[in-house]
């Protein structure tokens, strides 16, 4: 059976790869709701998917032939969309962050439990990065032993002129740790094989945008479990001269080696993206991961068909979201917006 899905919430460009990868994995897009807070996102969507029909939101929610709703709405609006979809009998994939408050996380958790529907977050810095797929395979094969520490760097280009108004309000996007650092928390839990973690420290700051004092352009987190620890740094300081939106990197320290991922660019080095550097007892190696297949989207579709949890473990998406929100609250309580 070909699964059918619809897109509701075209407010962030991440909706492009969510829709494209589901189609590539074999699903059929039945349409999209054209309501948006950013007409440029809608324009880009129509350019990429010119044959998809725009339909009213209620029509998409109420269509029993649609099994999945995907959403990259304004972050504060994502939980309500997801809950309505689940209550309509549909599984859900949303962009990160999945929520901006602990109350929203609790409501999502309750809706998923009551309906038996899947709530998944597309953590694109892992699920749409082929180097992460290679790293996952190497770690599973024991190439660096047991992962005991991760360092995740998530720099982004601000592109202030094209950002919508909600992007600068913490109550709508959640703050820099809730938003960006959710990626690195996801990676920490995944590569250290941890169900959850404790936040040791969290800090945020506004270093360069005094005219929007509530916004944060820098953030960091320390987290740990009984068997691993992690450091996270996220920021909005990618310079215009970098030929990518950010020099995202992930460092994995294992008991028998290390892995470094240069996800989007190898500065003044090899061309292209998806570079992995492996060091272990056998020596050092550069691996071009550009041909590595992405597995999250076909696994998600398999989970919808078979009611399994192969794309992400049950509850993982909300655990990551809860930890990110707690880190944000810890930073805010400490007066993190300098």
pLDDT in tens, 104-116: 999 999 999 999 9
Query: Could you identify the residue written with the tokens 């930073």?
Result: 331
- Assess contact for 253 and 194: CB atoms under 8 A: no
What confidence tens digit (pLDDT) does each residue in 280-333 have?
999 999 999 999 999 999 999 999 999 999 999 999 999 999 999 999 999 999
Q: Is 83 in the same domain as 115? A: yes
Give pLDDT tens digits for 155-187.
Answer: 999 999 999 999 999 999 999 999 999 999 999
For a pLDDT cut of 90, what percent of the chain falls above it? 98
Per-residue pLDDT at 1:
86
Q: What is the pLDDT of residue 336?
A: 53
Averaged pLDDT, 86-99: 98
E strand or H helix at 72: strand 68-72
Please check whether residues 148 and 261 belong to one and the same domain.
Answer: yes
What is the arithmetic mean of pLDDT over 18-31?
98
The two tokens of residue 142 are 């024991």
SS3 content of the chain, % helix, strand, coil (to 5): 35, 25, 40
Range of the domain at 188: 126-294+327-333
Of the candidates 175, 124, 186, 198, which has an alpha carbon nearest to the alpha carbon of residue 152?
A: 186
Average pLDDT on 273-278 reads 98
Do 150 and 112 share a structural domain? no
φ and ψ of 216, to 5 deg: -120, 130
- Please tell me whether residues 172 and 270 are part of one structural domain: yes
Report residue 9's pLDDT band, with 50, 70 and 90 as the boundaries: very high
66 and 134 in a common domain: no
Do 66 and 212 sit in the same domain of this protein? no
Q: Residue 25: left (phi > 0), alpha (psi -120 to 50), or beta?
A: alpha
Task: Give the pLDDT of residue 334.
Answer: 87
Q: Are residues 177 and 55 in the same domain?
A: no
Measured distance CA(308)–CA(21) in Å, rounded: 20
Same domain for 224 and 204? yes
């Amino acid at each position: 059976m070909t699964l059918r899905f619809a897109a509701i919430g075209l407010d962030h460009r991440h909706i492009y790869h969510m829709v494209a990868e589901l189609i590539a994995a074999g699903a059929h897009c039945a349409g999209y709701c054209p309501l948006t807070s950013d007409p440029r996102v809608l324009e880009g969507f129509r350019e990429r998917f010119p044959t998809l029909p725009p339909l009213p939101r209620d029509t998409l929610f109420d269509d029993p032939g649609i099994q999945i709703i995907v959403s990259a709405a304004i972050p504060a609006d994502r939980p309500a969309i997801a809950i309505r979809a689940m209550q309509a009998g549909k599984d859900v994939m949303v962009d990160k962050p999945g929520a901006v408050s602990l109350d929203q996380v609790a409501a999502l958790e309750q809706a998923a439990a009551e309906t038996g529907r899947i709530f998944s977050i597309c953590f694109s810095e892992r699920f749409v990065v082929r180097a992460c797929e290679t790293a996952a395979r190497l770690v599973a094969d024991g190439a660096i032993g047991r992962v005991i520490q991760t360092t995740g760097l998530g720099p982004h280009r601000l592109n202030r002129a094209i950002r919508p108004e909600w992007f600068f309000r913490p109550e709508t996007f959640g703050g820099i740790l809730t938003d960006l650092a959710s990626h690195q928390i996801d990676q920490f839990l995944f590569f250290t094989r941890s169900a959850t973690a404790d936040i040791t420290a969290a800090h945020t700051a506004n270093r360069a945008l005094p005219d929007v004092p509530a916004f944060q352009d820098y953030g960091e987190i320390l987290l740990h479990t009984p068997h691993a620890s992690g450091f996270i740094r996220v920021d909005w300081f990618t310079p215009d001269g970098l030929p990518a939106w950010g020099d995202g990197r992930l460092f994995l320290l294992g008991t028998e080696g290390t892995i470094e991922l240069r996800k989007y660019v190898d500065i003044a080095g090899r061309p292209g993206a998806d570079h992995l550097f492996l060091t272990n007892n056998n020596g050092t190696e550069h691996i071009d991961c550009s041909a590595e297949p992405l597995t999250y989207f076909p696994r998600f579709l398999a989970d919808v068909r078979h009611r399994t949890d192969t794309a992400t473990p049950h509850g993982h998406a909300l655990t990551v979201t809860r930890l990110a929100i707690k880190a944000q609250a810890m930073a805010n309580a400490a007066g993190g917006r300098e």
